[in-house]
Chain A
Amino acid sequence: MKKLYTIPAAFLASSLFLTGCAGFQTGNSNDSSTENEDGKVVLDFWTFWGSEIRRPVIEKIITDFNESQDEIEVQHTYLPWGDIWTKELAAIAAGDPPDVVINDINTTALRGEQNQAMNLAEFMSEDDISGQFYPELWEATLHEGDSYGVPFNTDTRVLFYNKDAFEEAGLDPEQPPTTWAELEEYAAKLDVKNGDDYERIGFYPLWGINYDVWMLNANGHNFINEENEVLIDTETNLETLEWLTGWKDKYGDDVINSYKAQIDSQQGNPFFNGSLGMYVSAPTFYTQIRDYADDLNFGVAKLPEMEPGNGNTSWGGGFVAEIPAGASNPEASYEFIKYLTGAEAQEYWAVQNFDSVANIEAAENAAQSDEFTEDGTMVYSMATEYMNDTLLTPVPVAAPDFMGSVNPKIDEVLLGSKTPKQALEEAQADVESLIEKNTRE
Chain B
Amino acid sequence: MAKTRSAMRRKETMYGYIFVMPWIIGFLAFTAGPLLFSLFASFTDYNITSHMDFVGTENYQGLFTEDGLFWTSLWNTLYYVLFSVPLTTIGAIFLSALLNQDVPGIRVFRTLYYLPAVLSGVGVYLLWMQLLDPGTGMVNLMLGWVGIDGPNWLFDPNWTKPSLIFMKLWSVGGAMLLYLASMQGVSKTLYEAAEIDGANTFRQFFHITLPMITPVIFFDVVTSLIGGFQIFQEAYVMSSNGEGGPANSLLFYNLYMWRQAFENFNMGYAMAMSWILFIIVFILTMINLKLAPRWVHYEGGDNR
Contact = CB atoms under 8 A, between A and B. Distances in A.
Interface of A: 8, 11-12, 15-16, 18-20, 23-24, 26, 85-86, 89, 92-93, 110, 114-116, 253-254, 257-262, 325, 400-401, 404-405, 407-408, 411-412, 415, 417, 430, 433, 437
B62 interface: yes
A412 B243 CA distance: 15
A262 B48 CA distance: 42
Contacts of B155: 257
Nearest to A117: B49
Nearest to A110: B265
Interface stretch (B3-11, B27-35, B82-90, B290-298): B27-35
Given A15-B32, A407-B245, A411-B246, A92 B48 contact: yes
B156 A415 contact: yes
Given A116-B48, A257-B135, 16 more contacts: A8-B24, A12-B32, A24-B52, A26-B49, A89-B49, A400-B264, A401-B259, A401-B263, A401-B264, A404-B244, A407-B245, A408-B245, A411-B240, A412-B157, A415-B156, A417-B247
A93 B264 CA distance: 16
A404 B37 contact: no
B284 interface: no
Interface in B257-284: 259, 262-265
B18 to A, nearest CB: 14
A411 B251 CA distance: 13
B135 A16 contact: no
Given A12-B32, A26-B49, A411 B262 contact: no
Nearest to B27: A8
Nearest 4 CB-CB pairs, A to B?
A: A258-B135, A15-B33, A115-B50, A411-B247
A417 B246 CA distance: 12
Contacts of B49: 26, 89, 92-93, 114-116, 325
Interface residues of B, number: 43
Contacts of A19: 33-34, 37
B248 A262 contact: no
Contacts of A24: 52
B247 A16 contact: no
Contacts of A415: 156-157, 246-247
B270 to A, nearest CB: 12
Contacts of B133: 261
Nearest to A253: B152
Nearest to B24: A8
B264 A408 contact: no
Contacts of A437: 62, 66
B32 A405 contact: no
A114 B50 contact: yes
B68 interface: yes
B247 A433 contact: no
B243 A433 contact: no
10 contacts: A8-B28, A20-B40, A24-B52, A404-B244, A407-B245, A408-B245, A411-B246, A415-B247, A417-B247, A437-B62
A430 B68 contact: yes
A30 B110 CA distance: 58
A110 B50 CA distance: 12
Given A16-B36, A20-B37, A405 B47 contact: no
Given A86-B262, A405-B69, A23 B48 contact: yes
Contacts of A417: 247
A312 B243 CA distance: 29
B136 interface: yes
B243 A407 contact: yes
B234 to A, nearest CB: 15
Contacts of A430: 68
B179 interface: no
B173 interface: no
A89 B47 CA distance: 10
A15, A116, A417 interface centre (most CB from chain B within 10 Å): A15
A261 B153 CA distance: 13
B261 to A, nearest CB: 9
A18, A89, A116, A404 interface centre (most CB from chain B within 10 Å): A404
Contact of B46 (A11, A23, A262, A400): A23
B243 A404 contact: yes
B36, B66, B68, B264 interface centre (most CB from chain A within 10 Å): B264
Nearest to B39: A16
Given A258-B136, A261-B133, A412 B33 contact: no
B265 A114 contact: yes
A408 B28 contact: no
B248 to A, nearest CB: 4
B28 A11 contact: yes
A415 B134 CA distance: 15
A89 B46 contact: no
A169 to B, nearest CB: 25
Contacts of A93: 48-49
Nearest to A90: B48
B33 to A, nearest CB: 3
A394 to B, nearest CB: 14
Given A89-B48, A114-B265, A407-B245, A12 B33 contact: yes
A262 B33 contact: no
Interface in B45-98: 46-50, 52, 62, 66, 68-69
Contact of A89 (B52, B157, B241, B262): B262
Given A86-B262, A261-B136, A415-B157, A15 B46 contact: no
A92 B50 CA distance: 11
Contacts of B243: 404, 407
A404 B243 CA distance: 7
A408 B152 contact: no
A257 B152 contact: yes
A408 B135 contact: no
A64 B186 CA distance: 71
A23 B152 contact: no
Given A15-B33, A404-B69, A261 B135 contact: yes
A9 B135 CA distance: 59
A400 B251 CA distance: 17
B132 to A, nearest CB: 11
